[in-house]
Amino acid sequence: MAVILALALTAIAPITKGSATEAAWARLNQGGYTILLGFARSPGGEPLRPDIGDCDKRKSLTDRGIQEARRIGMRFAARAVSVDAVYSGEFCRALQTAQLGFGKSRVETKAYLNSIVGGADPNDIPPELITAVEEFYGAGNQLMVTHPELIRAISGTMPRVGEAVIIAPAATPGGIPRVVNRLLLD
């Protein structure tokens, strides 16, 4: 009876963070997904200025954020997860996170990945982002580094530091992309 009870408890036990993360890595190895990643730790807000993408003149990530961005890229490399494209918002903290993690030459900026005004309202999700998710059919995955507010608008919850959200197209064209998994990177 004790063995049956132990097996039953094991069967209904919640999935641990470790096993959930393993499932997320396995899903990414299949390819075809969009990975949303918030920028690494930064010292604070970044003003919207005409030189928004001129990152050589300012330090947008903390020392810890720089290490975090590099570590995220190493985790993807260690898992041999194919990333076909890397996109970033134009703000330096997002751009530097992408460049440090995945290589400066691989990153392309997209204005639709900038912070959304008005918070986390799903109606504020840029249509270009929805289109980019719907039109991606790569053998690998596409990674987008953006602001947590945009990720919250899509996923419904604020991502934790070091957490990526894996999304796929909505069931209906033009709809809010659906969250298929979360990935703890830090």
User: Count of CB atoms within 10 A of residue 5's CB?
Assistant: 9
As a whole number, mean pLDDT of residues 153-179 equals 92
CATH class of 32-41+59-184: alpha beta
Question: Nearest-CA neighbor of 165 among 152, 146, 181?
Answer: 181
pLDDT digits (tens, 9 = 90+) for 96-154: 999 999 999 999 999 999 877 666 678 889 999 999 999 999 899 999 999 888 999 99
